[in-house]
Amino acid sequence: MAYDELKNVGFVSYDGHYGAEADLLIFDSNALTSKQWDTLGELGDNSRFEYVEAIMNNKSLTEWEL
């Protein structure tokens, strides 16, 4: 799947989330299934980046999904 990875950037999202010196993954929202979006919402903040990165790179998701 196609995605962009930006490193060491600052950002502000439309809903007000913000950060600095962050790594971002930018991808088509349709790249995740509804189940994957649900799983993403249940994960802790520190696991979400790696989870989406694994999805984008077609890697095993067994660490996050049962």
Q: What is the pLDDT along the chain (66 residues), one digit of tens a residue?
A: 789 999 999 999 999 999 999 999 999 999 999 999 999 999 999 999 999 999 999 999 999 987
- CA-closest candidate to residue 29, choices 49, 3, 63: 3
pTM of the predicted model, to two decimals? 0.86
Has residue 33 been placed in a domain? yes
Has residue 65 been placed in a domain? no
| H helix or E strand, kind and range, residue 53 | helix 45-56
Q: Cβ neighbours of residue 56 under 8 Å, at least 6 residues apart?
A: 1, 3, 25, 27, 31
Q: Which two tokens stand for residue 49?
A: 């980046």
For 27, the domain range is 3-56
Strand partners, 18: 12
Has residue 10 been placed in a domain? yes
Has residue 61 been placed in a domain? no
pLDDT at 47: 93
